[in-house]
Structure 1
Amino acid sequence: MAPRIAVLGCGYWGSNHIRTLKSLGALYGVSDQNSDRAAGFAAEQGVEHIEVEKLFTHPDVDGIVMALPPQFHAQTAIRAVSHGKDVLVEKPIALTVPDAEAAVKAAHDNGRMFMVGHVLRFHPAFEKLLELVRAGDLGKVRYIHSHRLGLGKFHTENDALWDLAPHDLSMILAITGTEPLEVRGEGAAVLDHLSDFAHLHLSFPDNVRGHLFASRLNPYRERRLAVVGTKAMAVFDDMETWDKKLAVYKHSIWQDNGQWASTTEEPTYVKVEQGMPLTRELQSFIESIQTRVQPKTDGEEAIRVLRILTAGTVAHNKSE
């Protein structure tokens, strides 16, 4: 039997959770401070409309998906787990590391599942890329860079770094298996007081480097992650069609009489199983509720990502 899950927050991303959970047979109810909006979604999906104040103590709700403005995530998650609810919290799970740590600790103390919405960790192309890395097919990873660019969306609380970068940081941390030793960041506010683009430079143990570029003020969309290894390079390009989302380049680089030389090869496209990342993410949440096994995007991972965002923000502020 599927667990009974409610969605708290009926905005753009919350509505995606609502429809996907319904398709998985796990949507029990919806809730939002805007009662009319929640009632509309409830009627549309044929589920219960639950007032926010009644949600946390509702006896028939097993888990809650939270898609709120990030400043409310931590306190709301603490309230939910304290009442015995498992939670999936959209990114970022908090605006400060102490708040995030308090929410994750509350879940642990109450024996509840805590999952974060780093949805691209569930993308079939990224899962295949990670498989290649762990199998050694790329050799030793030396450099990782990601670009997440586009026009909008603009938020009143989140700048480009905090809104866009968590997805890529989650993927980079999964590839490296460790946290960076150093974070350098820079960005700029073009429209108002919030940065509209951000660069992060990451230094990992064993001289592995990473670079992230996020922008919400760009004339074209780009969703690309590249991994450079000693044997091959791989590119996960989410703007490509399914048959070309994951490419492996077996370029050759060598020294000849003290000079570097190289040859380039055409990419080999790796077959990737098609599947919607959000569906797979929510299936993972359902399985965690059922099995009591922590998901791969758990609270500890969310804290690691938040540490990098915080360090990048500090570095950016110092550079201004």
Structure 2
Amino acid sequence: MAPRVAVLGCGYWGSNHIRTLKSLGALAAVSDVNVHRAEGFAAEHDVEAIPVEEVFTRKDIDAMVLALPPQFHAENAIRAIEGGKDVLVEKPIALNVEDAEREVRIAREHKRIFMVGHVLRYHPAFEKLLELVNQGALGEVRYIHAHRLGLGKFHTESDALWDLAPHDLSMILAITKCEPSEIHGEGAAIIDNLSDFAHVHMKFPNGMRSHLFASRLNPYRERRLTVVGTKAMAVFDDVEPWGRKLAIYRFEVWQDNNQWAFTADEPEYIPVEEAMPLTRELQHFLHCIETREEPRTNGDEAIAVLRILTAGSVHHKAKEIAGKTQAKNKDTAKK
């Protein structure tokens, strides 16, 4: 029998979780502060609509997916955990590192599965890219850059960095296998007081470097992650059709008579399985509930992403926390 999962939050992304969990035979209930919205989804998918105040303590619910505005994630995740539920919390899991650490600590104390919704970690093209990196197909990885651009969405509580960057940061961390030792961020607010553009530059203790550019005020869509190695470069471009989402560019650079020379091959498109990342993510969540296995995108990763978001923010308070983060990383590196 599949775990019985309730989705809390029936907005845009919550509705995707609802449909996908229903297709996997695991959707048991929905819940939302908008009772009429929850009842509509419940009727559509033939499940129960549970009032928000009751869903945390229902014994017939094994786990919860939280797809709420991020300022409500920490409080409700803790309520779910203390109610005996395993949880998948959408990104970001909190608006500050302290709340995120508290969520993860309480989940461990209660021995509950805690997973963060970094859905692109479950994209078949990224999974294949990570496999190629780990096999050494690109040589030694030196640089990673990610561009996530488009028009909208505009939020009252989160800027372009906090809304768009977590997915790319989770992929970058999966490749680097460590947190950055130096972080520098810049942002620009055009529409209101929250940044519509964000640049984050990172240095890692293992010598890798990376930058990320996120924009919610751009005339064209770009969803591209590029990994530069000493033997080849790989590009995961999610705007491209399936047959062209992952490309490898092999090259050589050398000196000849004090002059630089290079050769570059045409891109080789790597076949990847056509599958929905959200389906694979939720399948992994259900697997972890059943086996008690640690999720691929666990609480530690969620906290690491939040540290970078905080350090890369342009606000004064975030800069103070960034200094503490960098000091922590330096102490860890010395150990």
Cα deviations by residue, 1:194-230 (Å, 9 ceiling, x for unpaired): 1001000010123211010000000000000000001
Query: How far apart are residue 288 of structure 1 and its match?
Result: 0.6
For 1:59 and 1:208, the matched residues in 2 are separated by: 47
Partner of 1:43: 43
Partner of 2:263: 263
For 1:143 and 1:187, the matched residues in 2 are separated by: 22
For 2:272 and 2:180, the matched residues in 1 are separated by: 29
Partner of 1:284: 284
Partner of 1:130: 130
| 3-state SS of paired residue (1:206) | coil
Matched, 1:313 2:313: yes
Partner of 2:31: 31
TM-score, normalising length: structure 1: 0.98
Partner of 1:95: 95
Pick which of 251-260 and 214-223 moved more. 251-260
TM-score, normalising length: structure 2: 0.93
Query: How far apart are residue 168 of structure 1 and its match?
Result: 0.2
For 1:9 and 1:251, the matched residues in 2 are separated by: 48
Partner of 1:303: 303
Partner of 1:186: 186
Matched, 1:77 2:81: no
What is the 5 A alignment of 1:193-204? 193-204=193-204
Partner of 1:19: 19
Cα deviations by residue, 1:259-299 (Å, 9 ceiling, x for unpaired): 32212210001110110000000001100100000110001
Contact 1:184–1:315, Cα closer than 8 Å, also in 2 = no
For 1:119 and 1:295, the matched residues in 2 are separated by: 12
Contact 1:140–1:230, Cα closer than 8 Å, also in 2 = yes
Contact 1:181–1:202, Cα closer than 8 Å, also in 2 = yes
Query: How far apart are residue 257 of structure 1 and its match?
Result: 2.2
Letter in 2 for 1:73: H
**In 2 relative to 1, CA 19–195 (structure 1 residues): closer, same or farther, beyond 3 Å?**
same
For 2:244 and 2:252, the matched residues in 1 are separated by: 22
Partner of 1:243: 243
Contact 1:3–1:289, Cα closer than 8 Å, also in 2 = yes
Partner of 1:112: 112
Letter in 2 for 1:305: V
Letter in 1 for 2:121: R
Contact 1:183–1:315, Cα closer than 8 Å, also in 2 = no
For 2:256 and 2:180, the matched residues in 1 are separated by: 34
Contact 2:187–2:314, Cα closer than 8 Å, also in 1 = no
The unaligned stretches of length 5 or more in structure 2 are 320-335
For 1:91 and 1:133, the matched residues in 2 are separated by: 25
Matched, 1:220 2:220: yes
Cα deviations by residue, 1:114-164 (Å, 9 ceiling, x for unpaired): 000000000000000000000000010000000000000111111000000
Partner of 2:324: none
For 2:220 and 2:276, the matched residues in 1 are separated by: 23
Partner of 2:331: none
Query: How far apart are residue 59 of structure 1 and its match?
Result: 1.0
Query: How far apart are residue 315 of structure 1 and its match?
Result: 7.3
Partner of 1:65: 65
Letter in 2 for 1:174: A
| 3-state SS of paired residue (1:205) | coil
Partner of 1:165: 165
Contact 1:74–1:100, Cα closer than 8 Å, also in 2 = yes
Aligned-residue Cα RMSD (Å) equals 1.1
The unaligned stretches of length 5 or more in structure 1 are none
Letter in 2 for 1:19: R
Count of aligned pairs = 318
Cα deviations by residue, 1:151-203 (Å, 9 ceiling, x for unpaired): 00111111000000000000000000000010000010000011001000010
